[in-house]
Structure 1
Amino acid sequence: MNIKITGSGSYIPTRIVTNLEFAQHEFLGEGGKPLPYSNEEVAEKFKQITGIEERRYVDEDLLTSDIAYFAAQRAIDDAKIDPETIDYIIFAHNFGNVKSGAIQTDILPSLASRVKHSLKIKNPKCVAYDILFGCPGWVEGVIQAQAYIKAGMAKRCLVIGAETLSRVVDPHDRDSMIYSDGAGASIIEATDDEGGILAHETASFTHDEAYFLFFGNSYNVTHDPDVRYIKMYGRKIYEFALTNVPLAMKDCLDKSGVAIEDVKKVLIHQANEKMDEAIIHRFFKLHKKTPPEGVMPMSIHKLGNSSVATVPTLYDLLIKGQLENQEIQKGDIVMFASVGAGMNVNAFVYKV
C-alpha cells in the first residue's frame, strides 16, 4: 500500500493588488515613527528581498471557508471520487473566518465542518477538524492523513490549506505587503499505484522562538489597542529558517533513502524569495551539492504569501502544467517543506 495525492485543487482570488497600490499607505515603524524613506523606496526594496510584484485578495463577500470549499471541490473532481467516501477533512488555517471590515475571527463551527456542509457530505463518519500550525499547516495535515491511513483508521482524506491574510494585516506595517489570500486542497489516499509519501519530518521550536510571529497592535498608535494584527520579527525568522529548515529537510531525505541527485523539485512555502533561495542552497550544501537550475518552482512573485495555501497551490499549479518552464513527471521525486508560526518546520519526500 502506498499513500499518494490523487487529486488537487486550488482557488486563486481574482483581485490583483500590485506593489504600486501601497503608494498611498502611511507606513510607520514601531512606536508610530514615520519611516525615513519614501513609499517608492519601500516598495523597491521590498521587491528585491521578497520577489513579490503583486498578490491576490479575496472579494469582500468571500470567507476563508468559502474559498476552501472551492479548492476542495476541485480536488474532489480531479480525483474523481465520491465525497461521501472521505474519512477525514483536515483544514489548516490560522485565523478562521474574518469578515471584511470585522475585528473578530469566527471558528464556530470549525471551518472544516463548514466545508463538509458545503460539500453536502452526509456521512457522519467523515470526521472534520481544523489544525493551527502556522504556515506549515497543510504539510502537517498531509502527514496526519498519512498516519491515519497507515494506522488503518482511514482510506481517504481531504487536506485543505486556506487563508485570507488581507483581513488581518496592519495597513501601517510594510510587512503587510507580503501577505495574500488563497486556498489549496488535496485528496490523500491509499493506492496500489507506485510511489507516494516516502518519509516525513516535523519539529516545533518554542523555547525562544514561539513568538517570532504574533498578534500585536497597529504601528499607528491612534488605532484601537484592542484590535490586533499579524506581526513578525523578520530577521529572527530569517535566521531561524536558514538554520533549521535545511536540517529538517536533510533528516527527512536521509530517512527516505533517496539520493539528493534524485530530487527533481523542492516545493517550499512561498514566504520570501531570498529566504527560500538561501534555504535551498544550504540544503544542497549539506549534501555538498549545488541546487540544479529550476529545482525550486516559485509562485510568490504573482501570488504573494498566502500562508498555509502556498504549498498546495504551488503543487496544484505544477502538476497541472500551469507554471512557466516547470513540470513534473510520474516517478519524479519531490520534496515538500515549510516553516512558520510556532515556530514549526516540516517536510516530506514524495514520489509522484
Structure 2
Amino acid sequence: MNNTIKTVIAATGSYIPEVVITNADFLNSRFLEKDGTPIVKDNATVIEKFREIAGIEERRYALPDQKASTLGYLAAKDALDSSGIDAETLDYIIVAHNFGDVAHGSNRSDMVPSLGSRIKHLLGIRNPDCVAYDLPFGCPGWLQGVIQAEYFIRSGDAKRCLVIGAETLSRVVDPHDRDTMLYSDGGGAVILEAASGAAEGILAHKTQTHSIEHAMLLTMHNPVYDCGGEKNDLFLTMNGRKLYEFALSNVPLVVKMALEKAGVHLAEIKKVLIHQANDKMDHAILQRVFKLYDMECNDIYGIMPMTISKLGNSSVATVPTLLDLVLKAKMPGHQINKGDKVVFASVGAGMNINAVVYQF
C-alpha cells in the first residue's frame, strides 16, 4: 500500500425514481401475520404505527420499464455528467446490489450478465481495461464497494473507480407483509480518484460480518406469508426486533473502531451519513455512538441528515443518494465544507456492518 496516496471523492450522482408511493396507498392492502391470519388492527392504525417507528411518509418506485441496472446507469451518468469526467478513464466499475435486475410484475432475479457489465454497456465504455463487476453484500454493499475501490487505488492498481448502489426492493417484497412499506427503489454513485499527498480522502475504514448467530435475520423465504402466491416464489423477510437489537449493539462499536483507526475523535465529526434503514433505529445508533465517548448529542438530525421520510429504504442506494443530495445542496440545513470529517456507516443482511471515516 502507498501511504502517500489518498482515495478522494471526485464526483457523485443519484437517480430518484419518479413514482411516489405514499402511506395512504397502503390503506387497502391486506396485511397478514406470518401464519396467514389477518392482522387484527385496521390498516390506518398499522400504517400510523409504522410511520412513527420508521419515519417513512412516502417512498419511490421505479417505472415499469426500469430495472436496477437502469437506475444504476442513470446515477452513474449523473456523476459523470455533473463532473465532466470521461467514462473511458474509469479503471473499475463496482456495482452493489442484492437482487440483480428484477422485471416489473416479477420477483425473479436476473444477474447474467452482471449489472456491472450491463451498466458499462449502457454507458458506452469501450475500454476493455475498465473492469466491471458486482458486489452483493446486503445494504452495506455500496460502502463495501468504496472500501474495495480504496484498496485498488492505494495499491496502484487503479486511478479512478466508479462505485454504484442500485436496487428495486419494491419487486422482491410480499404485499401482505407490513414491512413492505419500508422498501423503495433508487440508485446512487460516486467516482473515487487517486490523489497524491492530499489532506482530503478516506482516513480509515472497518468492516465486520456477524454470521454465526445473526446471518438469518434478513432472508428470502418461500412462502413468507400464506398469500396464495406461486409455490416457488421467494420474498424478502426480516426479523425486525432482533435486527434492531443487533444494530444497536454492534454498529456503534464498528463506528468507534473506524474512528480509532483514523485517529479521529467523535468531537471532530461534522456529519454522520448512515444507511437509511429506519428513523428510530438510526437515531438510537447515533445516540449510542455518543454514549461510547461519554458525550451528549443535542442535535441528532443536525449531524445525521435523513432522507428516509420521503425516499424510504432503497438498500445500497441510500447512502450514495444521501451524499449526492448533501453535496449538491439539495438537503436544506445540511452542507459539507472543505476540511470536514464525516463518518459513513451501514448495516444489513449477512449480518454485515461497515464504516468509513472521510475528510473533505
TM over 0.5: yes
Alignment of 1:164 with 2:172, yes or no, is no
1:19 to 20, 23, 30: 23
Matches within 5 A, 1:116-135: 116-135=120-139
Partner SS, residue 296 of structure 2 = coil
Distance (Å, rounded) in 2 between the aligned partners of 1:93 and 1:307: 8
Distance (Å, rounded) in 2 between the aligned partners of 1:166 and 1:130: 20
Contact 1:252 1:348 in 2 (8 A): yes
Contact 1:19 1:43 in 2 (8 A): yes
* Shift, 1:179, TM fit: 0.1
Alignment of 1:210 with 2:215, yes or no, is yes
Aligned to 1:69: 73
* Shift, 1:31, TM fit: 1.2
Detail structure 1 runs of 4+ shifted over 3 Å in the superposition: none
2:200 to 195, 198, 203: 195
* Shift, 1:291, TM fit: 2.2
Distance (Å, rounded) in 2 between the aligned partners of 1:81 and 1:191: 15
Matches within 5 A, 1:150-299: 150-192=154-196, 193-216=198-221, 217-293=223-299, 294-299=302-307
* Shift, 1:305, TM fit: 0.1
Distance (Å, rounded) in 2 between the aligned partners of 1:222 and 1:17: 24
- Structure 1 gaps of 5+ residues are none
Alignment of 1:147 with 2:135, yes or no, is no
Distance (Å, rounded) in 1 between the aligned partners of 2:356 and 2:37: 43
Contact 2:176 2:227 in 1 (8 A): no
- Structure 2 gaps of 5+ residues are none
* Shift, 1:218, TM fit: 3.9
What TM-score do you get using the length of structure 2 for normalisation?
0.96
- Of stretches 323-332 and 302-311 in structure 1, the one that deviates more from structure 2 is 323-332
Alignment of 1:57 with 2:61, yes or no, is yes
Distance (Å, rounded) in 2 between the aligned partners of 1:122 and 1:214: 37
Partner SS, residue 25 of structure 2 = helix
Partner SS, residue 31 of structure 1 = coil
* Residue identity opposite 1:253 in structure 2: L
- Of stretches 190-199 and 235-244 in structure 1, the one that deviates more from structure 2 is 190-199
* Shift, 1:258, TM fit: 1.1
Alignment of 1:87 with 2:95, yes or no, is no
* Residue identity opposite 1:321 in structure 2: A
Distance (Å, rounded) in 1 between the aligned partners of 2:199 and 2:160: 17
Superposed CA RMSD in Å reads 0.9
* Shift, 1:21, TM fit: 0.3
Distance (Å, rounded) in 1 between the aligned partners of 2:206 and 2:79: 25
Partner SS, residue 104 of structure 2 = coil
Partner SS, residue 5 of structure 1 = strand
Q: Percent identity?
A: 55
1:47 to 43, 48, 51: 51
Aligned to 2:347: 339
* Shift, 1:181, TM fit: 0.3
Partner SS, residue 303 of structure 2 = coil
* Shift, 1:221, TM fit: 4.0
Distance (Å, rounded) in 2 between the aligned partners of 1:311 and 1:221: 33
Partner SS, residue 183 of structure 1 = strand
Distance (Å, rounded) in 2 between the aligned partners of 1:179 and 1:221: 19
Partner SS, residue 205 of structure 2 = strand
- Of stretches 144-153 and 76-85 in structure 1, the one that deviates more from structure 2 is 76-85
Contact 2:217 2:351 in 1 (8 A): yes
* Shift, 1:194, TM fit: 2.7
Contact 1:7 1:77 in 2 (8 A): no
Distance (Å, rounded) in 2 between the aligned partners of 1:21 and 1:103: 21
Partner SS, residue 32 of structure 1 = coil
Distance (Å, rounded) in 1 between the aligned partners of 2:152 and 2:336: 27
In the comparison of the two structures, how many residue pairs are matched? 352
Aligned to 2:312: 304
How has the CA–CA distance of structure 1 residues 75 and 292 changed in structure 2, closer, same or farther, with 3 Å as cutoff? farther
Distance (Å, rounded) in 1 between the aligned partners of 2:283 and 2:145: 25
What TM-score do you get using the length of structure 1 for normalisation?
0.99
Distance (Å, rounded) in 2 between the aligned partners of 1:111 and 1:169: 21
Distance (Å, rounded) in 2 between the aligned partners of 1:218 and 1:348: 35
* Shift, 1:306, TM fit: 0.1
Distance (Å, rounded) in 2 between the aligned partners of 1:223 and 1:80: 47
Distance (Å, rounded) in 2 between the aligned partners of 1:235 and 1:282: 17
* Shift, 1:292, TM fit: 4.7
Distance (Å, rounded) in 2 between the aligned partners of 1:218 and 1:243: 27
Aligned to 1:78: 82
Q: 1:201-260: CA deviations, max 9, x gaps? A: 000010011110001124134222310110000001000000110000000001111121
